Amino acid sequence: MSQRVSLTQYLVEQQREHGLIPAQLRLLIEVVARACKRISISVNKGALGGVLGSADTENVQGEVQKKLDVIANEVLIEANEWGGHLAAMASEEMDTIYVVPNRFPQGEYLLMFDPLDGSSNIDVNVSIGTIFSVMKKPENGCGVEEQDFLQPGSQQVAAGYCVYGPQTTLVLTVGNGVAMFTLDREQGSWVLTQENVQIPADTKEFAINMSNMRHWAPPVKRYIDECLAGKEGARGKDFNMRWIASMVADVHRILTRGGVFMYPWDKREPNKPGKLRLMYEANPMAFLVEQAGGAATNGLQRILDIQPGQLHERVAVVLGSKNEVERVTAYHREDAAL
Ligand code: AHG
Ligand code: MN
Ligand code: MN
């Protein structure tokens, strides 16, 4: 029988071999993984657990919250606030940062999360997920404030997501490649099921919400038109399209078999750079994708180099197979130079 490697064992070995995971960071990752296990149980219960439907509240971005958005947010906070590994947390579902209450010890890490990604898919039983990003609090004396979170994604020390699909899978990077762990429900443990995940540089699959086509900028339209033209067009090959509308599930497919994912700026809300949020959606996914040999830009610039100005800042996203991301980015640069 091949030997099963648990998440704990993987993290301990990463620390021994590469010195990447101090004890506090290991605790943090294990606590997040435990919280994801709890969220997974709620997701699986569905209507039996009374977790479907709307919470009838709005988050800071003006989106109506689903019950599971709120539940997942609470699970992550409760799990993480007391362990002493964190200084503060930030979430899609909270207007401002959540500083660890002073009845608990404060650690040196900052945790950001999208507690439930793909909310529109909850009630229809399609894959959804949790995304997280970890940075260190800058050494600037005592206290912690929103400004401490506003570091470029290149400063992340760990990032990952959990996808609640036919299997529950945790995908993680600590800056030494990407590893996947599958939840063994009977044992209640995370088992390493793939290491050194690599995204092929070329692909014939793209993911974009095609219903927004009439609102796109010319470089996006040009790229997708070429894909749609297939063998007879400039690309000389047929493309396939997938759009799950849960970023976690779309990125998981790309980490598994390649592809390009785009949520570009569009004319619907011209003052917003895009729909997705930089700190807890684009940055962690960009870190994972780059660690798997892919690329991630906002059309013009590497996502991990963007200096954030606000906690809930939005960003255009192009990520996945390197050669396709470079092509889309080149089209944007050509357009910007006109
Ligand atoms: P969230 O559920 O956290 O608000 O994120 C939803 C995001 C992302 O997961 C997905 O890629 C995108 O919104 C789907 O957008 P469309 O509704 O335009 O398909
Ligand atoms: Mn999301
Ligand atoms: Mn969400």
Question: What is the DSSP annotation of 100-111?
Answer: PPTTS---SEEE
Average pLDDT over residues 81-101: 97
For residue 141, the model assigns a pLDDT of 76
245 lines ligand 1 (CB under 6 A): yes
The confidence band for 2, taking pLDDT boundaries of 50, 70 and 90, is confident
| Ligand 3 centroid from CA 97, angstroms | 16
Residue 142 pLDDT class (50, 70, 90 cuts): confident
In this predicted structure, what is the pLDDT of residue 334? 96
Q: Determine what percent of the chain is predicted with pLDDT higher than 70.
A: 100
Q: Average per-residue pLDDT in the chain? A: 96
Question: Average pLDDT in the 205-226 region?
Answer: 98
Under the banding of pLDDT at 50, 70 and 90, the label for residue 61 is confident
Asked whether 130 lines ligand 1 (CB < 6 A), one says no
Q: How far apart are CA 313 and CA 186, in angstroms?
A: 40
Mean pLDDT of 230-248: 98
Examine the pLDDT at 65 and tell me if it is beyond 90.
yes
Instruction: Give the chain's domains with CATH numbers.
Output: 7-194 (3.30.540.10), 205-337 (3.40.190.80)
- Ligand 1 midpoint to CA 117 (Å): 7
Ligand 1 centroid, distance to 178 Cα (angstroms): 23
Q: Which of the four pLDDT bands, split at 50, 70 and 90, describes residue 263?
A: very high
**pLDDT given for residue 296 in this prediction:** 99
The atom of ligand 1 lying closest to the CA of 212 is: 18
Ligand 1 atom with the shortest distance to the CA of 119: 2
Residue 202: name the closest of 288, 325, 290 by CA.
325
pLDDT bucket at 274, cuts 50 / 70 / 90: very high
Mean pLDDT over residues 109-133, rounded?
98
Task: Examine the pLDDT at 204 and tell me if it is beyond 90.
Answer: yes
Task: Look at residue 140 in the predicted model and tell me its pLDDT.
Answer: 81
Q: Is the minimum distance from the CB of 242 to ligand 1 under 6 angstroms?
A: no
Single pTM value for the model: 0.97
Amino acid at 54: S
Q: Indicate whether 1 pLDDT > 70.
A: no
Which residues are in the CB-under-5-Å shell of ion ligand 2?
A: 114, 117
Q: What's the 276 CA to ligand 3 centre distance in angstroms?
A: 10
Ligand 1 contact via 160 beta carbon (within 6 Å)? no
User: What average pLDDT does this structure show over 199-214?
Assistant: 98
- Contacts of residue 258, defined as CB under 8 A and 6 or more positions apart, other chains included, come to 199, 200, 202, 203, 205, 320, 321
pLDDT at 283 over 70: yes
Ligand number nearest CA of 245 is 1
Distance 161 CA to ligand 3 centre (A): 12
Q: Which atom of ligand 1 is nearest to the CA of 92?
A: 3
Give the pLDDT score at 161. Answer: 99
CA–centroid distance, residue 119 to ligand 2 (Å)? 7
| Ligand 1 near 247 CB (within 6 A) | yes
Q: What's the number of CA atoms in the CB half-sphere (13 Å) around residue 199?
A: 35
Using the predicted structure, report yes or no on whether residue 338 has a pLDDT greater than 90.
no
The pLDDT score that the predictor gives to residue 43 is 97
Examine the pLDDT at 245 and tell me if it is beyond 80: yes
Give the sign of the dihedral formed by CA 113, CA 118, CA 122, CA 126.
Answer: negative
For residue 217, pLDDT over 70 is answered with yes
Tell me, in angstroms, the distance from the centre of ligand 2 to residue 48's CA.
Answer: 24
pLDDT of residue 79: 98
Q: Stretch 174-191: mean pLDDT, rounded?
A: 97
CB of 209 shorter than 6 A to ligand 1: yes
Task: Return the residue whose CA atom lies nearest to atom 12 of ligand 1.
Answer: 245
Residue 201 confidence (pLDDT) above 80: yes
Amino acid at 235: R
- Measured CA to CA, the distance from residue 213 to residue 303 in angstroms comes to 23
